[in-house]
Amino acid sequence: MVSSLERYKPVKLEGRPLVLTKEGKLQVSRPRHIHSAIAGAKKYLKPELLQPLLGQLDGSVNVPEGGSVTLSRVFLNEYLQAFGSVPDIVVWSGSTDKTILKRLKLPNIRKILNLQAKGDKWGNFALTLEDMLKNNKIIHTINLGQVNKRGNMLGLAEAHNQIFNDQHTITHCHDPITDVILTRCIFNIVINSMGSLKLFRYCRKGKVLNNTSNIK
């Protein structure tokens, strides 16, 4: 589906976190991984970000008995295939997402489209839509103008605020539901700029991956 992300209700993935090892393998986290993540978070994160993150981690790890575990290959596959058509996945700065999808070995995916906002040395930023299955080929670009900030990449909330006047209520950085809402807003802007039919035709040209383990 490329005309909108509206019918996909945001779902928070909960369950024991998945760990991407140094060898590039995906495995369910163990207590030592959780302890290491907590120690690292306490060392580097400010209190206003640390507490929500620890709460989110605790909620995912300690799913109540009888509660729904959504962080699983089975749930993700059912979610993506829910409408009976081959899905296209949209991510924000999704290099890690691409690696995880490869390790999850999900069936029947056509495209992984990546949104990101990058600037040049003069501070001029542009929003790009890229095809991650074709060496990050740029499909469409929208100029965002000059942004006064350090670094040449805009975060998701920064890019959204640069494009829209209205502000969503953000509980804290990287809240998973908020991330989906902001990505959806930005993707819909790209659709309006590029044209839904043009994007639809581009995505339909793609070869369906029988298994995401074949991602290069």
Same domain, 133 and 197: yes
Same domain, 46 and 132: no
Total domains in the chain come to: 2
Same domain, 105 and 50: no
Same domain, 100 and 28: no
Residue 191 lies in a domain: yes
Average pLDDT over residues 47-68: 74
Is the CA virtual torsion 191, 110, 175, 181 positive or negative? positive
77 or 48, which is more confident: 77
Same domain, 48 and 102: no
Same domain, 108 and 158: yes
Cα distance between the two ends of the chain: 22
Same domain, 89 and 195: yes
Same domain, 168 and 93: yes
Residue 90 lies in a domain: yes
Same domain, 102 and 197: yes
pLDDT at residue 124, rounded to an integer: 95
Same domain, 103 and 56: no
Reading the block at residue 29, the tokens are: 């986290």
Using pLDDT thresholds of 50, 70 and 90, give the confidence band for residue 33.
Answer: confident
Residue 75 lies in a domain: no
Reading the block at residue 159, the tokens are: 């890019």
DSSP strand pairing (18-20 vs 88-92): unpaired
Residue 68 lies in a domain: no
pLDDT at residue 171, rounded to an integer: 57
Reading the block at residue 212, the tokens are: 């995401």
CB 18 within 8 A of CB 71: yes
Q: Which of 21-35, 80-94, 161-175 shows the lowest per-residue confidence on average (mean pLDDT)?
A: 161-175
Domain with 139 in it: 85-204
Residue 3 lies in a domain: no
Q: 116-123 contacts: CB < 8 A, separation 24 or more? A: 116/92, 116/153, 117/144, 117/153, 117/154, 117/158, 117/159, 117/162, 118/152, 118/153, 118/154, 119/147, 119/152, 119/153, 119/154, 120/152, 121/152, 122/146, 123/147, 123/148, 123/149
pLDDT at residue 1, rounded to an integer: 37
Distance in angstroms (rounded) separating the CA atoms of residues 182 and 32: 33
Q: Where are the beta strands (DSSP E) in the chain?
A: 18-20, 26-28, 88-92, 111-119, 124-131, 137-146, 153-154
Reading the block at residue 211, the tokens are: 């298994």
Same domain, 110 and 27: no
Residue type, 161: N
9 or 102, which is more confident: 102
User: What are the residues whose beta carbons fall under 8 Å from the beta carbon of 34, sequence distance 6 or more?
Assistant: 17, 57, 61
| In the predicted structure, residue 31 carries a pLDDT above the cut 80 | yes
| In the predicted structure, residue 7 carries a pLDDT above the cut 70 | no
Residue 80 lies in a domain: no
Average pLDDT over residues 47-59: 80
Residue 214 lies in a domain: no
CB 50 within 8 A of CB 60: no
At 101-128, the pLDDT tens digits run 888 889 999 999 999 999 999 999 999 9
CB 209 within 8 A of CB 215: yes
Same domain, 94 and 199: yes
Q: Which of 20-34, 61-75, 118-132, 152-166 shows the lowest per-residue confidence on average (mean pLDDT)?
A: 61-75
Residue 213 lies in a domain: no
